[in-house]
């Protein structure tokens, strides 16, 4: 404040006397400026301390991370040594199951090998026939018949072809055996999945009334508060599912107010979505839906699951 007064005195020597004071607004602004400067200095000091503390924490975290990695490596090493020392425990049921699988696989292998032996025997018979023909023609060649030398070469090629075909057949049967094993495994998984689905459907058909009410409350009535479509949905649960229920939906502006009647005989499941006047019901039995949008206007629809 004194420096400001001195500066103003130098700039305006003919101004007010020395004992004159600054205006109240300037003094107030100068006071607020000093408060802000002090606050900024305090904040800068706190930021500096926080940065130093952050640096220390980063160093500590890095050191702790290195120690953690070292401990993890040691624990993994000890666990591996412990697993090597401990032998796996196998139960009798697991052994029996493994033996059954092995026997089944061996039976399949024996059947495949039997079929391959038959085919190999047939190939060997054909090979012996060709070999006998070869010996005959070689003997014929040795006695001076050079005119059939080309035929002998052709028979030799046939013998080589039979050998190659026998080897190819053997490899092909091995590949076929592997493909059959994969196909059987795949079909087994598909049948298992189908049986699970059938079991689920069978269980759904025998849901009792308490479960029916629980499904009704959880899947349908939860939406009643959000959609505000029916005002008396909770009262529908007090009636058995084989009776006619009547409700009055709350229709948005611009639409007429109508009544809704739902007939659901022997219903075991019910999931409902409400959009205007049209309900959607899913039950194991046929469902008849009748609604009216005004006097003398009635519509109906039958839904079969």
Distance of alpha carbon 47 from alpha carbon 283, whole angstroms:
67
Given phi > 0 = left and psi -120 to 50 = alpha, else beta, which region is 294? left
User: CA angle, corner 244, sides to 239 and 249, nearest 5?
Assistant: 90
- Read off φ and ψ for residue 248, nearest 5 degrees: -115, 110
What is residue 6's three-state secondary structure? helix
Q: Which of the four pLDDT bands, split at 50, 70 and 90, describes residue 184?
A: very high
Cβ-based neighbours of 220, under 8 Å, separated by 6 or more: 233, 270, 271, 272
Please state the pTM of the whole predicted model.
0.22
Q: Tell me the DSSP string of 239-289.
A: S-TTSEEEE-B-PPTTS---EEEEE-TT------EEETTEEE---SS-EEE
Residue pair 264/270 in contact by the 8 Å Cβ criterion: yes
What phi, psi does 242 have (nearest 5°)? -95, 10
Is a pLDDT exceeding 90 seen at residue 189?
A: yes
pLDDT beyond 60 at 53: yes
Q: What is the pLDDT of residues 89-106, one digit of tens each?
A: 668 888 888 888 988 998
Residue 147 pLDDT: 65
Residue 70, pLDDT score: 92
Dihedral angle sign, alpha carbons of residues 10, 13, 16, 17: positive
What pLDDT is recorded for position 18?
43
pLDDT of 211 > 80? The answer is no
Helix 149-205 and helix 92-142, axial crossing angle in degrees, nearest 10: 160
Least confident stretch, 58-67, 233-242, 251-260:
251-260
How far apart are alpha carbons 272 and 289 in whole angstroms? 13
pLDDT in tens, 243-260: 344 433 333 333 333 333
Helix (H) or strand (E) segment spanning residue 214: helix 209-219
User: Are 267 and 289 spatial neighbours (Cβ–Cβ below 8 Å)?
Assistant: no
For 121-166, the pLDDT digits (tens) are 999 999 999 888 888 877 776 776 666 677 778 888 888 888 888 8
Q: Which of 7-11, 52-56, 160-164 has the weakest average pLDDT?
A: 7-11
Mean pLDDT of the chain: 69
Average pLDDT over residues 56-80: 89
Residues 129-132: contacts with CB under 8 Å, at least 24 apart: 130/155, 130/158, 130/159, 130/162, 131/159
Q: What pLDDT score was predicted for residue 118?
A: 92
């Amino acid at each position: 404040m004194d420096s400001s007064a001195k500066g103003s005195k130098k700039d305006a020597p003919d101004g007010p006397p020395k004992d004159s004071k600054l205006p109240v607004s300037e003094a107030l602004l100068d006071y607020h400026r000093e408060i802000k400067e002090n606050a900024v200095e305090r904040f800068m000091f706190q930021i500096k301390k926080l940065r130093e503390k952050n640096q220390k924490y980063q160093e500590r975290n890095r050191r702790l991370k290195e120690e953690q990695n070292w401990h993890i490596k040691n624990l993994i090493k000890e666990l591996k040594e412990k697993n090597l020392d401990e032998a796996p425990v196998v139960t009798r049921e697991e052994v029996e199951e493994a033996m059954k699988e092995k026997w089944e696989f061996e039976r399949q292998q024996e059947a495949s090998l039997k079929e391959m032996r038959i085919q190999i025997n047939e190939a060997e018979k054909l090979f012996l026939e060709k070999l006998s023909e070869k010996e005959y023609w070689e003997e014929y060649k040795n006695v001076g018949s050079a005119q059939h030398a080309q035929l002998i070469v052709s028979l030799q090629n046939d013998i080589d072809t039979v050998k190659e075909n026998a080897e190819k057949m053997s490899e092909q049967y091995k590949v076929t055996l592997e493909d059959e094993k994969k196909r059987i495994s795949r079909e087994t998984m598909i049948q298992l999945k189908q049986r699970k689905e059938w079991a689920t459907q069978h269980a759904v058909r025998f849901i009792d009334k308490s479960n029916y009410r629980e499904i009704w409350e959880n899947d349908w009535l939860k939406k009643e508060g959000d959609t505000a479509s029916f005002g008396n949905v909770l009262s529908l649960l007090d009636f058995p599912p084989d009776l006619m229920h009547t409700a009055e939906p709350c229709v948005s502006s611009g639409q007429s107010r109508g009544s809704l009647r739902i007939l659901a005989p022997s219903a075991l499941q019910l999931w409902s979505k409400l959009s205007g006047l049209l309900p959607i019901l899913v039950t194991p039995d046929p469902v008849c839906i009748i609604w009216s949008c005004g006097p003398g206007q009635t519509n109906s629809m039958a839904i079969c699951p």
